[in-house]
Chains A and B, each alone.
Chain A
Amino acid sequence: KAGVTQTPRYLIKTRGQQVTLSCSPISGHRSVSWYQQTPGQGLQFLFEYFSETQRNKGNFPGRFSGRQFSNSRSEMNVSTLELGDSALYLCASSLDGVFIYNSPLHFGNGTRLTVT
């Protein structure tokens, strides 16, 4: 079974631009969640989508948004990029149902975003 695939692996953007990251979950997984990893803050939960609906949301500004398609693939968008948005963005998928209790998260290898 193929794992969680994130594209692209690396991105360099300038302040003020916007960026879209893509995530393809493991086949059969309906929950997709997104995380930001920075050296200072560790792993922080952004949001979770299930059946094309945002079901859980972390404490990030509205510049961070996402969506999920009918095939469970998900995209995350960051608008008006700031230097502090430079981070590793990780996507994770899990089986349908509650995204923690029923099965652990399966992470992709992440997209490294650098904002200059």
Chain B
Amino acid sequence: DQQVKQNSPSLSVQEGRISILNCDYTNSMFDYFLWYKKYPAEGPTFLISISSIKDKNEDGRFTVFLNKSAKHLSLHIVPSQPGDSAVYFCAASAFEQGGSEKLVFGKGTKLTVNP
């Protein structure tokens, strides 16, 4: 059962336009969400996060929106730049019984920004 889904394996946009990457989750216990960016041959790097008590978090060109009722979050990149071309992973976490933490990643969306 895939609890975090990124339904678009790839996305292609023109430089300067907006990139919108989507992520859906099924577990209502998730209360913290993160986006990571990964270049080939490198480990993922943290991009932006959002707590479930918020519906928006912004950091420069990157904005994450959270719709708890729809169990949906999205990452907006404006304006998109060729250097943003990478695989983007959505991740969600929740505390489980006993105090351990559950962290689940989506399968990733490959973003290509064309000059």
Query: Which residues of A come within 8 Å of B, CB atoms?
Result: 4, 33, 35, 40-45, 48, 55-57, 90, 92, 98-101, 104-110
Please state if B49 and A104 are interface contacts (CB–CB under 8 Å): yes
- Residues of A contacting B43 in the complex (Cβ-Cβ under 8 angstroms): 4, 90, 92, 107-110
Known: A42-B107, A42-B108. A107 touches B89 (CB 8 A): no
* CB closest residue in chain B, given A104: B46
Q: Does B65 contact A (CB under 8 A)?
A: no
Chain B contact-residue range equals 20 to 34
- Residue with the highest number of chain A CB atoms closer than 10 Å, among B6, B43, B46, B89: B43
Please state if A99 and B42 are interface contacts (CB–CB under 8 Å): no
9 contacts between A and B (CB under 8 A): A35-B105, A40-B107, A43-B91, A55-B100, A57-B100, A90-B44, A99-B103, A105-B36, A109-B42
Please state if B41 and A45 are interface contacts (CB–CB under 8 Å): no
CA distance A109 to B39 in the complex (A): 10
Give which listed residue, A42, A43, A99, A107, contacts B101 with CB less than 8 A.
Answer: A99
